[in-house]
């Protein structure tokens, strides 16, 4: 699932946003907190209603906002270190 869809599941279930966490972390938290039956139903709803154009545009907007923040903070062009787990 894409990040906006995971976020929707988080909202439906009154979960924290975990904005600074990885997609894998968010998926794990969702699986931990939501019963399998409820989660299957919510995922099915999201997949049946998936609008690829809307999701791609949403992802573009988030990337644009992140780039603008990096430009403002002066971190554009600097390599980001990945944390090893």
Q: So what's the pLDDT on residue 54?
A: 86
DSSP annotation of 80 reads P
Enumerate the domain spans of the chain.
3-73
pLDDT digits (tens, 9 = 90+) for 46-62: 999 888 888 889 889 98
pTM of the model: 0.67
Cβ atoms < 10 Å from Cβ of 34: 19
At 70, the pLDDT band (50, 70, 90 cuts) reads confident
At 43, the pLDDT band (50, 70, 90 cuts) reads very high
Q: Name every residue whose Cβ is closer than 8 Å to that of residue 16 and which is 6 or more positions away in sequence.
A: 10
Q: So what's the pLDDT on residue 52?
A: 85
**Placement of tokens 């997949």 in the chain:** 47
């Amino acid at each position: 699932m894409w990040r906006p869809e995971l976020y929707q599941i988080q909202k439906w279930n009154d979960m924290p946003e975990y904005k600074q966490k990885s997609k894998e972390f968010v998926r794990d938290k969702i699986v931990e907190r939501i019963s399998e039956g409820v989660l299957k139903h919510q995922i099915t709803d999201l997949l049946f209603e998936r609008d690829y154009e809307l999701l791609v545009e949403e992802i573009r907007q988030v990337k644009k906002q992140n780039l603008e923040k990096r430009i403002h903070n002066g971190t554009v062009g600097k390599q980001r270190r990945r944390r090893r787990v």
